[in-house]
Amino acid sequence: MRILEGRATVEDVDAVVAELAAIGDENGCTVQAFDARYLVGREQLDRAVELADRAIDRGENVARDRGVEILLYAAGRRQIDDALAMGVEAGEQDVAVLVDDVDAEDGAAADADAEASDAEIEAREADAAAAVREVLELDERPTVGVERADEALVREFFDVTEAELAATDAELADIVLERVALLNVEK
């Protein structure tokens, strides 16, 4: 999995989403863009991918599209419309784009030559990442992490109250990761 980070200007959200989907289809990858202000760290996306893949494998997924299922988990939401708030919007913004080969989890490990399979996966992800950088004209600077997230926005989106923060020694990122994991329980 790759996470591309940077500042981008999105003029037409629907057109960008369609272009990213086409890049994904062309390269056998899932490509999902996020408003980076909502992301407290790479772990949030790692966990979202893991849980989305598990839900898909079990036939328990909410969305038909893997990228949307990943978005649901990253947002800790069951409703697609609610989770879309975490996607990109029109205008200039910090973005994070997840690029993950569809076969990466399986690793095409069933192949006799696993190294070639890993190389193929790496090449597809690299090609998709290059195309995403071009489409979004990313300036490629760090955007993901608790120190870069909009704390007030994250707290509001994930409904993290002062009382909750005061009742635990957990950090905001830990609480968000808990919300991501709890989506499975709430299904």
Alpha helices (H) along the chain = 13-27, 42-58, 66-75, 80-83, 114-136, 151-157, 162-166, 172-186
Picking from 181, 185, 162, 182, the residue whose alpha carbon sits closest to that of residue 48 is: 181
- What pLDDT is stored for residue 53 in this prediction? 95
Q: Supply 63's token pair.
A: 């969305």
Q: Is the pLDDT of residue 33 over 90?
A: yes
pLDDT score, position 111: 43
Q: How confident is the model over 62-116, as pLDDT tens digits?
A: 999 999 999 999 999 999 999 999 999 999 999 999 999 987 654 333 444 455 4
Which amino acid type is present at position 90?
A
Question: Would you state the pLDDT for residue 20?
Answer: 97
pLDDT at 185: 58
**Mean per-residue pLDDT, 138-158:** 89
Looking at residue 2, its pLDDT comes to: 94
Q: How far apart are CA 5 and CA 21, in angstroms?
A: 18
